[in-house]
Amino acid sequence: MKTVTELALVLACASLGALGTWKIAGPPSRAVVCDPATLSPDEICLATVQAEWPAGSFLWIDARPAAEWKLNGIQGSIPITVVGDTSFDEQVEASLEKLGSAQRALVYCGSTGCGISKEVAKRLKALGFIPEVRALHGGWDALRQAGLVKDSSPAN
């Protein structure tokens, strides 16, 4: 019984400390921070895309599940992912016309920590259809933070 009481006291103190920190410092930052110097060559910051890639000069590729793409994908984007029931090759085949005519592609997924966009970008680059394929650092979170999308997406 003494152990349970001590555990309850520790949890209560930790909870009060966390609440106090929240009240003083505020909630944790959800901002997507992107430093180009720290990214892999397959990634790119949204700010770099906005500054250096003219609108309409690249193809958006949504690496989230197809249901999410249908719900709130970027207009003009195509869905290609490595998760779900449809194989990567079948998805590529269904989008061959757009992929074959693109000079650049930007792949995004559901959140900052999502690695699906990097995998899709790697596989597309290996196919050789598109000269430049990059994964958007921060994915949907970066797009939402920049005001480019309004709906939320569950993390993948």
pLDDT at 29: 54
What would the pLDDT profile of 88-137 be if each residue is shown by its tens digit?
999 999 999 999 999 999 999 988 778 899 999 999 999 998 999 999 99
- Identify the CA nearest to 131 among candidates 99, 109, 83: 99
Please tell me the least confidently modeled range out of 28-42, 55-69, 76-90, 125-139. Answer: 28-42
User: How far from 93 is each of 11, 78, 88, 138, CA to CA, in Å?
Assistant: 55, 12, 9, 27
Q: 3.30.70.660, 3.40.250.10, 3.10.450.50, 3.40.50.2300: which CATH number matches 36-145? A: 3.40.250.10
Whether the predicted model's global pTM rises above the 0.85 cut: no
Q: How far apart are CA 4 and CA 10, in angstroms?
A: 10
How much is the average pLDDT of 62-89? 93
CA distance 139 to 116: 10
What's residue 80's pLDDT?
Answer: 96
Amino acid at 58: F
Maximal C-alpha separation, the chain: 71
- pLDDT tens, position by position, 1-27: 788 787 778 777 777 766 666 577 666
In this predicted structure, what is the pLDDT of residue 153? 46
Residue 140's pLDDT band (boundaries 50, 70, 90)? very high
- 119: Cβ contacts below 8 Å, ≥ 6 apart: 63, 82
The Cα-based distances of 21 to 7, 12, 14 in angstroms read 21, 14, 11
